[in-house]
Amino acid sequence: MNDSFPDLLGEISALFTYAEQKIKKNEYFADGVSFPAVNQLRYVAFHLLRAEQLRNGDEYLNKDGLHDELKKAKNHCQRAIYDANEAGVVYYLERIRKFKEDYESTTIPDIVPNYISYLVKAREINDFLWDVGKKSLSERAEGLNRTDKEKDNNDYQKSDEYLIQLQKIDDILDLARPELNKKIEKQREKMLISISGLAIGTLAILVAILVAVYLV
């Protein structure tokens, strides 16, 4: 990784643009504007201004300070991407959960062969969200700012991958809905026929018994 001032600025600029795109995309496809993500971009502006102050002010020689501010700005950009993705991931996980609840009474793998692997994936992503949240909480409790740290920077990339995977799963499940509805309708018809057959049979036996009793 290149750490010079222009290189870091270039990286921040690219990440900022990407974060903005992510926020916009999730705004339209999921539940609306993600305030946590927008807040992270606000922090980016703050750290960039601080960096500019350090570059132009009396502390010109404070290269470490300048570097730190840029690093913080970069980490907040990454966190903004993560937060925007998180809103989308939660939205899609809720949709998968709704699907599972809607079709509890029928066997889904006939129509969606990879259904179980989709659920495993959903569980894995759900655990990932929880782990990131826990890490964030424990670090705050220790007095560390998570965005100041480098080690978890791949969380935002992972959330990116996970969001794409969940979108695909949701698309497939959504397409399967009409077929599953047809299957449930057929099951219902079969059940109705069986129950009415049983009722008619029982009635016929009762009539036969009554006739036999009266005739004898």
Partner 1 sequence: MKIFVLLNKLFPKPPVHTEDDDRRIVNRIIKRHATGSISLSKGRYVTKKDIERRKAQLQAYDF
Report the C-alpha gap between 167 and 27 in whole angstroms: 14
Closest distance of CB 196 from partner 1, Å: 37
**CB of 121 vs partner 1, minimal distance in Å:** 9
Q: For residues 31 and 41, is the Cβ–Cβ distance under 8 A?
A: no
| Residue appearing with tokens 């969001």 | 163
- Out of 80, 81, 93, 163, which residue is the one contacting partner 1 (CB under 8 A)? 93
One of 62, 65, 90, 165 touching partner 1 (CB under 8 A): 90
Distance from the first to the final alpha carbon of the chain = 101
Beta strand ranges found along 56-215 (DSSP E):
none
Tally the residues of the chain. 216
Using CA atoms, how far residue 203 sits from 13, 14, 196, 207, 214, in Å, is 79, 77, 10, 6, 16
The CA distance from 38 to 26, in Å, is 12
Shortest Å, Cβ 23 to partner 1: 10
Closest CA to 86 of 130, 42, 124: 130
Span from 54-62, 82-90, 159-167, 197-205 in contact with partner 1 (CB under 8 A): 82-90
Question: 35 or 60, CB closer to partner 1?
Answer: 35
Given the rule CB under 8 A, which of 10-18, 54-62, 86-94, 162-170 is the region that contacts partner 1?
86-94
Query: What is the closest distance, in whole angstroms, from the C-beta atom of residue 83 to partner 1 in the complex?
Result: 8
Instruction: Write the binding mask 14 to 53 for partner 1: x where contact by CB under 8 A, - elsewhere.
Output: -------------xx-xxxxxxx-----------------
Closer of 90 and 184 to partner 1 (Cβ): 90
Stretch of 3-11, 74-82, 122-130, 208-216 contacting partner 1, by CB under 8 A? 122-130
User: Cβ(19)–Cβ(74) under 8 Å?
Assistant: no
Residue with tokens 């998570």: 146
Q: Residue 116: what are its φ and ψ, rounded to 5°?
A: -65, -40
Asked whether the beta carbons of 174 and 102 are under 8 A apart, the reply is: no
Draw the binding track, 126-165, toward partner 1 (x: CB under 8 A; -: no contact): x--xx--x--------------------------------
Least distance to partner 1, CB of residue 26, Å: 9
Binding residues (CB under 8 A) for partner 1: these are: 27-28, 30-36, 86-87, 90, 93-94, 96-97, 100, 119-120, 122-123, 126, 129-130, 133
